[in-house]
Amino acid sequence: MSRAALRRPRSPPPSKFSGTGRPLQPPLNPFEAHGLKTSLSPFDIFLCLGFSLALPVGQLMFKWGAEYSRGLDGGFIAKLVFNWPLMGAFAWYGLTSILWFYILTRTPLSVAYPFSLVGAALVPIVGWVVFREAMTFNSLIGYVLIIAGMVFVMRSP
C-alpha cells in the first residue's frame, strides 16, 4: 500500500452554517445555560450584602448564647435547651440558609461566595467592638484586606 492510501481522508473545514443553512450559535456560558447570570443586578447585590451582614449577626447571637449559658444551671444539654439566645441563633441561621439558597438560585456560587467572605471578615471586627475581644493591628489589617479583596474580585469583568 502506498502512503497516500494509509492517510486518513481529510475532513472538510468547519462550516459557518448548521445543516439548516442558519449560522451556528456560539456556545452558551455554562451559567447562562442553567439560567444563572455572571453579573449581579442591584437586587442580587442587595441580597448578597444582606447575607454578608446576616453572618456576623448570627455569630453574635451564638456568642451571646455562650455568655448566657454561663448563668444557666445544669449540664450541657440543659444549657442548650434552655438557652433562648442560642435557639434564636439556630433560627437565624436557618433563615440565613434559606436566603443563601435563594441567592444561589439566582447567581453562580463563584460570584456570590465572596460576599460570605466579607461576612466572615466582619465577625472578628464586630466581636472586638461588641464584646471587647482582643484584636491586633495585624489582624485588623488582614480583615480589611479580605474586604478589599472582595471588592477587587467583584470589579473584575
Report angle CA 34, 119, 61 to the nearest 5 degrees: 120
Is 15 a domain residue?
A: no
Is 18 a domain residue?
A: no
Domain housing 150: 39-155
pLDDT for 22 beyond 70? no
Is 5 a domain residue?
A: no
Is 142 a domain residue?
A: yes
Helix or strand (DSSP H, E) at 128: helix 109-131
Across 32-39, average pLDDT? 58
Residue with more model confidence, 43 or 35: 43
> Sorting pLDDT into bands at 50, 70 and 90, what band is 63?
very high
> Sorting pLDDT into bands at 50, 70 and 90, what band is 139?
confident
Residue listed under C-alpha cell 461576612: 119
Is 135 a domain residue?
A: yes
Residue 23 bridge partners (DSSP): 17
| CB-based burial label for 52 (10 Å; 0-12, 13-18, 19+) | buried
pLDDT of the residue at 120: 85
Render pLDDT for 74-111 as a digit per residue (tens, 0 to 9): 898 988 899 999 999 999 999 999 999 999 998 888 88
Mean pLDDT of the chain: 81
In the chain, % of residues over pLDDT 90: 34
Is 100 a domain residue?
A: yes
Is 110 a domain residue?
A: yes
Across 26-44, average pLDDT? 64
pLDDT of the residue at 108: 87
Report the alpha-carbon distance of residue 31 to residue 36 in Å, rounded: 5
Is 29 a domain residue?
A: no
pLDDT for 56 beyond 90? yes
- Give the total number of structural domains in the chain: 1
